[in-house]
C-alpha cells in the first residue's frame, strides 16, 4: 500500500535542497507539508515559490529551542521530519564565534528538532531524515566547523537510530557538491570547480532534484528495514 495522508516537517525547506524535497512530498496524496525558513526573507521566498504552493511556510530559527518546541508542539501528528536547515562553510569557521554558530545551527539545531519531535514520531512510527554531507566523511581545509558539524550529524543519526529503534527510524542523506545559491562562489571559481568535478565520476555538479529519490525512499515503507545509515548522493565523489 502506498504511503498517503502523512504529515511532513522540513526545516530549511523554503528553497534549495530542502525545497526540492518538500515539493516532492507535497505531491504525495493527502500530504500535509510544513516548511521553515530562518529569516522573513526566506519565508517570503517560500510562500512565493509555486513548488511550495501546497505547503505551510513558517518562520523558525533552529537555534531557538523554545521556538522549535512551540512549532512542533502545535502539530497534531508528524510522520516524517527532514532536518535540512543549515549553513555552509565560510572563513568564519576559523573563529571561535563562527565555529560555535555553525555547530549550533547544523548540529545542535538538528538535535533540537529531533528531540522535540520524538513523541509525535513515536506515535506515528515515523522517521527522521537528517542532512549530513560528503564532508561528514572527510575533513576540509576551508570549513572545519562545517565538517565537524556534519560529522556530528552522521553520528547523531546512528546514535538516535540505536536509541529510538524500533519505534523511529533515523537516517541521513549526504549530498555531494550541489548547484545551489549557497555554492555559486565555488561554481564561479574555475580552479576550485574543476578540482571538484575532477573528483566527481558523474562529471557534473548535482542539482537539488537529485536528492529527491533518496529522500522519498528513506521516508517510505520501502525502507522499513533501513535505519542508522547515511546515504551519500554525491555523483561518486567519495569513491575518488
The pLDDT of 127-155, averaged and rounded, is: 96
Grid coordinates belonging to 98: 563562527
User: Hey, what's the cell of 61?
Assistant: 530559527
Burial of 145 from C-beta contacts in 10 A (0-12 / 13-18 / 19+):
buried
- Mean pLDDT over 184-213 rounds to 94
pLDDT at residue number 182: 85
- Going by C-beta distance under 8 Å and a sequence separation of 6 or more, which residues neighbour residue 189? none
Q: Which long-range contacts (CB under 8 A, 24 or more apart) does 198-202 make?
A: 199/237, 199/240, 200/176, 200/234, 200/235, 200/236, 200/237, 200/240, 201/235, 201/236, 201/237, 201/239, 201/240, 202/235, 202/236
Cα distances (angstroms) measured from residue 152 to each of 24, 43, 130: 27, 27, 11
Report d(CA 132, CA 7) in Å as an integer.
22
* pLDDT of 1 over the 50 cut: no
pTM of the model: 0.96
Per-residue pLDDT tens over the stretch 221-235: 999 999 999 999 999
Cell numbers for 92: 568564519
pLDDT band at residue 2, thresholds of 50, 70 and 90? low
Sheet with 80-83: strands ordered across: 56-59, 32-37, 7-11, 80-83, 127-131, 169-175, 230-233
**Going from the N-terminus, what domains does the chain have, and what CATH number goes with each?**
7-231 (3.40.50.720)
Tell me the pLDDT of the chain averaged across its residues. Answer: 96
Q: Find the mean pLDDT for residues 154-182.
A: 97
What's the pLDDT score for residue 3? 72
Q: How far is CA 140 from CA 24, 182, 195, in A?
A: 31, 17, 13
- Pick the catalytic residue from 8, 25, 131, 146: 146
Q: 43-52 — which CB contacts under 8 Å span 24+ positions?
A: 43/14, 45/14, 45/15, 46/13, 46/14, 46/15, 46/19, 49/14, 49/15, 49/19, 51/19, 51/20, 51/22, 51/23, 51/26, 52/13, 52/14, 52/19, 52/22, 52/23, 52/26
* Average pLDDT, integer, range 59-82: 98
Using the predicted structure, report yes or no on whether residue 211 has a pLDDT greater than 70.
yes
Known catalytic residue at 237: no
Q: What is the pLDDT of residues 37-70, one digit of tens each?
A: 999 999 999 999 999 999 999 999 999 999 999 9
Decide if 36 contacts 12 (C-beta within 8 A): yes
* Distance, first Cα to last Cα, the chain: 39
Amino acid at each position: 500500500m502506498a504511503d498517503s495522508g502523512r504529515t511532513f516537517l522540513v526545516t530549511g525547506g523554503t528553497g534549495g535542497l530542502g525545497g526540492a524535497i518538500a515539493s516532492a512530498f507535497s505531491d504525495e496524496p493527502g500530504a500535509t507539508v510544513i516548511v521553515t525558513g530562518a529569516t522573513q526573507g526566506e519565508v517570503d521566498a517560500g510562500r512565493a515559490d509555486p513548488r511550495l504552493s501546497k505547503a505551510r511556510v513558517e518562520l523558525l530559527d533552529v537555534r531557538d529551542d523554545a521556538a522549535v518546541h512551540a512549532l512542533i508542539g502545535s502539530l497534531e501528528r508528524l510522520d516524517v521530519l527532514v532536518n535540512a536547515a543549515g549553513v555552509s562553510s565560510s572563513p568564519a569557521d576559523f573563529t571561535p564565534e563562527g565555529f560555535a554558530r555553525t555547530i549550533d545551527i547544523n548540529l545542535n539545531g538538528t538535535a533540537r528538532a529531533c528531540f522535540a519531535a520524538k513523541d509525535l514520531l513515536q506515535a506515528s512510527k515515523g522517521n527522521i531524515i537528517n542532512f549530513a554531507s560528503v564532508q561528514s566523511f572527510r575533513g576540509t581545509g576551508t570549513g572545519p566547523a562545517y565538517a565537524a558539524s556534519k560529522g556530528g550529524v552522521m553520528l547523531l543519526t546512528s546514535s538516535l537510530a540505536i536509541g529510538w529503534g524500533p519505534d523511529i527510524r533515523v537516517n541521513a542523506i549526504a549530498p555531494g557538491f550541489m548547484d545551489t545559491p549557497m555554492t555559486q562562489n565555488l561554481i564561479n571559481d574555475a580552479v576550485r570547480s574543476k578540482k571538484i568535478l575532477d573528483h566527481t565520476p558523474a562529471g557534473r555538479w548535482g542539482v537539488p532534484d537529485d536528492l529527491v529519490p533518496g529522500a522519498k525512499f528513506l521516508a517510505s515503507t520501502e525502507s522499513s528495514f533501513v535505519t542508522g545509515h547515511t546515504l551519500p548522493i554525491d555523483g561518486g565523489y567519495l569513491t575518488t
